[in-house]
Amino acid sequence: MRPPRRQGRRLAVLTAATVAVTGAGVATAPLAMAADGDAATVGSWSAPFEEGGAGTPRCTYVPNDTPGDDRERLECKPTAVTSAVLPDGRVLYGNGIESEENAEEGGVASLSPESRSSRTRVVDLTDGSPSWRVPGNERSDGDNPNIVAGRTSDDCLTEGPLGVAGVPGRGGDGLAGSVNEQLGGPAADPTCSPDDAQDNDGDIFCGDIVQLPDGRQMIVGGTDWYNEPSVLEKADGDPVNVGVIELEGLRSARIFDGADNAWNATAPMKFGRWYPSATTMSDGTVMVVSGTLKLIKSTQGSQVRRTETYDPTTAQWTENYAGLASEKTLPENARVYLAPNGKLFYTGDGQMFGPFGQAVDEALFGVQSFFDPETETWQDAGLTISRSSPASVALPMKAPYDAMTILRAGGTLGPPPGTYVATPTTDLTTIHADGTVTNAPGPMLNTPRWFTQPTPLADGDVLLTSGARNDEVVAPGLEIPVKQPEIYDPETNTFTPMAEPERARTYHNNAVLLPNGQVLVGGNSPISTGYGMQRDAVPGVTGNNDKDPSFELFSPPYLHKGDRPDVDYAPSAVTWGEEFTVDVDTATDADVSKVLLMRMPAPQHVMDNDTRTLELPFTTDGDGSLTVSAPPSGKAAPPGFYYLFVNRSDGEGGHVPSVASIVHVGDFSDDANAPQPMGPETVEGFESEGATPVESNTHLSNPPNPLEPPTVPGEPDPLGVPMAGPDAGVPATGAEGQADEAPADVQAPPVGDPALVPQLPLRGDRRAPRRTGQAR
């Protein structure tokens, strides 16, 4: 029996707002327009905002946790390098290259001993203003399981020289380990991990994040930082750090549960993986590929060559090996997707230059392939020109979901070291259920771009944000920022430039679609210039070499096109293959143009292997009731939580989406009304306390803005370099839109305030009270 109808409400969406700083220091975010001011064409941006607001310095001094070093350390606000939207609409994110600002002797000598395991945060925008919550164990859980208590770097040189050398290793560790196994040679540990004093043995940085079927988030792999060899260390009482940086790939896997706001380690993988790729399969298991055992002494000749599968029901890993056909050379952070045939598909792309992520057989990176989980073997599917760090995303699929097209846009071309300069070209790779693969050139980008984040939008389009014109990893500090976003429309096969944000974000940027249809854009955690110290190479031209913990909200054009459909009811869980009811406002019933089911986002390093947008078949009874067909199986929609957006036609060939209902798709159903964590009012009523300024950093040993006075929302980015497009040279906020100075008595919470707060109710019945003005 169909559940009762809920009374809906219609709400006109966003109109241009002006900045207003109140006596309480709260600013209504300004909307940045393009040169012609037509937000319905190019969208709009909020002013930047960050944890603690503009009134809290970006970095503060804290007591040093390094034995033998009594100097204070800088601790800066976390930057969104990895993120995921939780089933209640909040956003989990994690930092990257934590504590790089303390590496005073430069990255090579002291980044490892000065690094710390990355901290995490949960930002809540469901009330229309950001608030932050600190996980109880903010640096996650699960240190390097290879560590032997009390073992030092010096001990490794005598007790584990093969681990220091990284060879021969074991079968699957890399090309060397597999060849050694085939020749019958003795296996050896591929690493010798020291038990160093620093809290940097379980860093989630360069791990991959994936949503489990029950809505928890799992990060696999990551980084253990240490010098190898370590000549001098402040932790041993030496005056400086002297050594050679090493980044070991972690076997660790850890799970974040939003219900208790905590990380917990689960069983570790067999292989250590730095920069792996994790993908949810049709049965809800997670398959992990690639990753590097050791970054600097990458002597294996390739990345990890075998896959592993995690079963959430048993919390155990299984190595997938049935002979040499189970092994394949892949780049780091390989672009892989669950294909319509139920196999894992490798597109031919990844992060090719890591900087030592090359492979002896790297020419094979361009061989597109399937991994069959039943036979545990790879099968070649065709050839392509490899792309390094492209924007890679699965486009919307239509029933019967027997074909998937992947947009592969920009990046640099070829295996390491590649072309260095980003390309404006794109490819459209289509995978069919019968296993055939076709590659066709796509339209040209408006701007060549490397390391751009693609974000599927609520109307089926794809937003591209941030990145650079050249590969920063090859020559860190010399990247030229790309601020110009653009949107790809799969229906017209075109790219359209969008309004520019205030901040430029190059390496380690991030973006996620929110339940209200906006896009949360953040990140920027670059490698120190020349692998040395943090400083801007050419201020105003090259990228900002400091981390940027701020976020900005992009409102796509569809949020400026009038009334949005109002979903009064959708079931909270649907079973594969069933028909279910969605009730909408009767005034828009006849105009419903599409119903989209989108897997909730979880990107890292500008890649989300689980991107899934399905256009669901539906019929309408003309009285506000839609009968919608669920995807037929886990091959089309792996089990987990999804956004459900109902779109109406805008009358001009475009679409206007509702806010999202959060629906679980899998092997059970639930007729309770699906929660809608963010109403449309969160778009037009967004308020924040701003962000600290971005300033030129040109002094050696001068960390970023440690104690700069606060600024206010809407202040232009002095390092922003407008790129080609309709907004070239147009600041995100005109002078007339800037706020006055914040009042001197404005108080902001301290960075990292761990106070826990009551969780917001999910608005399943659309009548749950909204909580406003609560302290977080």
Under 8 Å between Cβ of 244 and 229: yes
How many other β-carbons are positioned within 10 Å of the β-carbon of residue 771?
12
As a whole-number percent, the residues of the chain with pLDDT over 70 amount to 84
pLDDT digits (tens, 9 = 90+) for 253-283: 999 999 999 999 999 999 999 999 999 999 9
Average pLDDT over residues 272-296: 97
Q: Give 1's contacts (C-beta < 8 A, 6+ positions apart).
A: none
- Min mean pLDDT across 47-61, 322-336, 387-401, 428-442 is at 47-61
pLDDT for 610 = 98
Amino acid at 137: N
Work out the mean pLDDT of the chain and round it to a whole number. Answer: 86
- Rounded to whole angstroms, how far apart are CA atoms 568 and 591? 16
pLDDT digits (tens, 9 = 90+) for 337-368: 999 999 999 999 999 876 666 799 999 999 99
3-state secondary structure of 114: helix
- Min mean pLDDT across 34-38, 60-64, 492-496, 717-721 is at 717-721
In this structure, what token pair is assigned to residue 566? 């109002």
Say what the pTM is: 0.88
- Rounded to whole angstroms, how far apart are CA atoms 351 and 292? 12
Which CA distances in Å does 118 have to 80, 186, 216, 275? 11, 36, 19, 15
pLDDT for 538 = 86
pLDDT for 588 = 60
Average pLDDT over residues 468-474: 95
For tokens 């040993």, the residue is: 701
Pairing of strands 551-555, 44-45: antiparallel
Which CA distances in Å does 683 have to 7, 17, 27, 680? 21, 11, 14, 6
Pairing of strands 397-398, 613-616: parallel
- Rounded to whole angstroms, how far apart are CA atoms 467 and 460? 22
Higher pLDDT, 1 or 337: 337
pLDDT digits (tens, 9 = 90+) for 594-632: 999 999 999 999 999 999 999 999 999 888 899 999 999
Residue 20, pLDDT above cutoff 50? no
- Min mean pLDDT across 69-78, 381-390, 427-436 is at 69-78
Q: Is 723 left (phi over 0), alpha (psi -120 to 50) or beta?
A: beta
- Min mean pLDDT across 29-33, 335-339, 751-755 is at 751-755
As a whole-number percent, the residues of the chain with pLDDT over 90 amount to 73
Residue 593, pLDDT above cutoff 90? yes
Query: Count of residues for the chain?
Result: 776
pLDDT for 441 = 98
pLDDT digits (tens, 9 = 90+) for 517-534: 999 999 999 999 999 888
Under 8 Å between Cβ of 560 and 652: no
- Rounded to whole angstroms, how far apart are CA atoms 544 and 533? 13
Residue 209, pLDDT above cutoff 80? yes
Higher pLDDT, 355 or 321: 321
Cα 251–Cα 252–Cα 253 angle in degrees, nearest 5: 125
**In terms of C-beta density within 10 A (0-12 exposed, 13-18 middle, 19 or more buried), how is residue 745 classed?**
exposed
Which pLDDT band, with edges at 50, 70 and 90, does 667 fall under? very high
pLDDT digits (tens, 9 = 90+) for 542-575: 998 989 999 999 999 999 999 999 999 999 999 9
Average pLDDT over residues 323-337: 97
Cα 167–Cα 171–Cα 176 angle in degrees, nearest 5: 40
Q: Give 194's contacts (C-beta < 8 A, 6+ positions apart).
A: 147, 151, 152, 153, 155, 156, 226, 228, 230
pLDDT for 238 = 87
What residues are paired with 368 via a beta bridge?
A: 382
